[in-house]
Structure 1
């Protein structure tokens, strides 16, 4: 049975796409995953408003099923590197699978670099998922779709990363993206040049860009869950040189200033829109 989300529920989701939640015509359904490489599943019906739905950087790969009865489709999206318009059609019902940040599914025939900032037809990347596609489209129940995905993805692992990339990624997460290349070099005992080369080969982007994405998501998370923290404290905690630097970067990646974003989330009853399963 669904229930309205609470702060505790949503704190478990580190990678957020807030504009997608706010674009939902009704409720935004969410279910946590028991698969280590999948963050969560979600579903929503897009509103009939002409307002654009934006995707923000989150470091995640998503599979988004458009469950339209006439022209169903499924696409794979890599993380954007700044706020971009998402391919969401008014009044269409969607079901999504969001993989954990920094995770690349091993069964997709594509490099990590080619996924960043791009979208592809799922069945072209992975023809063997056609049975899953058909099951998702034919079944309209959210919990049943989640169960189908859980069973389908159970035997599949994430793409193997080098031990260096794993260490660097963990350092970036631990510091909420607030870490310099010289610090990564000191912590891993590798040169910055080696870190750059190995990380880019595994993740499709530089450590600096990935850190920027994690820091952006950390700011979004703080706005949602740390209501007593001021924007100046947030900027300081995330390592921005000053508050104006924080404002500029947040606006570029999220398409709103931190204060405008905070106001929009509160005025739109963000948490009240979400139902957890």
Structure 2
């Protein structure tokens, strides 16, 4: 049976992975919708064919810059849609923009969008991006602090532990995170904790929500439900039901 929405995705290695989470290609065989979980990242998408919307806002051609994802978003798509994208790390796009990297320049994005019209899969898209994928330049040390802080959150450290291991004052780090990620360190930590809870729910659909809440650092199930719904826009219980219904 053909999937209504197929996705090819690849995570860059080396220097590129410091700024870019993934390159991806999506193709649909029918109209539909899915919910995209928040990852605090941003992106650039290139719509080759069909129609697509994010939270009922149409994705524009020739390209559309997607702002930082602070909550789960509804993605709706038409039959035979083809969409290519670059997904940046939470601070990736703003750091590249500060360095005037080719991927943030309007003329280059317009050029890529023209090449996308000839792309039919992820490999074609990677070839189109190749001239713009040089990331071997010196980085600002502040960008390194931001990246290290985000990595600690991804590795399930608490917000306070991640802050304590950063050689900046809390106020300095908060200012830099807000500038580069568009959100506070506290909000960033909330997103990563909810993503940890999502993984826990997927791994064991029989585990109680109370147990998952405590394992992920929430004080009780009520706190867990409020935080999860604030980021995902659905409750943990509904998220589990959605997972089970797909099995």
- Which protein is richer in strand relative to its size? 2
Partner of 2:55: none
Structure 2: how far apart are the matches of 1:189 and 1:268?
A: 45
Q: Contact 1:60 / 1:98 at 8 angstroms: preserved in 2? A: yes
Query: Matched residue pairs, number?
Result: 230
Match of 1:170 among 148, 151, 157: 151
Structure 1 residue 78: Cα displacement = 2.3
Distance 1:260 1:69, change over 3 A: closer
In structure 2, relative to structure 1, the CA distance for the partners of 1:198 and 1:83 (3 Å cut) is: same
* Partner SS, residue 67 of structure 1: strand
User: Equivalent residue for 1:135?
Assistant: 115
List gaps (5 residues or longer) in structure 2. Answer: 52-59
- Shift of the alpha carbon at 1:170? 3.2
Kindly state the Cα deviation for residue 81 of structure 1 after the two structures are TM-superposed.
1.5
The verdict on how the C-alpha distance between 1:179 and 1:124 changes in structure 2, with shifts beyond 3 A counting, is closer
1:45 has 2:24 as partner: no
Q: CA contact under 8 A between 2:68 and 2:181: conserved in structure 1?
A: no
Q: Secondary structure at the match of 2:223?
A: helix
Aligned counterpart, 2:44:
63
- Following superposition, the deviation at residue 154 of structure 1 comes to 2.4
Give the superposition deviation at 1:125. Answer: 5.3
CA contact (8 A) 1:57 1:216 kept: no
1:103 corresponds in structure 2 to 92
TM-score by length of structure 1 reads 0.68
**Matches of 1:166 and 1:240, distance apart in 2:** 25
Q: Give the secondary structure class of the aligned counterpart of 1:29.
A: strand
The reply on whether 1:154 has 2:109 as its aligned counterpart is: no
- Give the CA RMSD over aligned residues: 3.4
Q: Which has the higher contact order (CA 8 A, sep 6+)?
A: 1
Counterpart among 231, 239, 243 of residue 261 in structure 1: 239
* Contact map agreement 1:132 1:152 (CA 8 A) in 2: no
Shift of 1:89: 3.7
Q: Which structure 2 residues correspond to residues 1-277 of structure 1 after superposition, within 5 A? A: 25-34=4-13, 35-36=16-17, 37-46=19-28, 48-49=30-31, 52-68=33-49, 72-86=61-75, 88-91=76-79, 92-104=81-93, 106-108=95-97, 126-149=106-129, 151-156=130-135, 160=140, 162=142, 163-175=144-156, 178-180=158-160, 183-188=161-166, 190-226=168-204, 229-269=207-247
User: 1:75 Cα deviation (Å)?
Assistant: 0.9
**Following the alignment from structure 2 to structure 1, what is the Cα–Cα distance between the partners of residues 37 and 50?**
28
What is the distance in 2 between the residues matched to 1:240 and 1:47?
Answer: 40
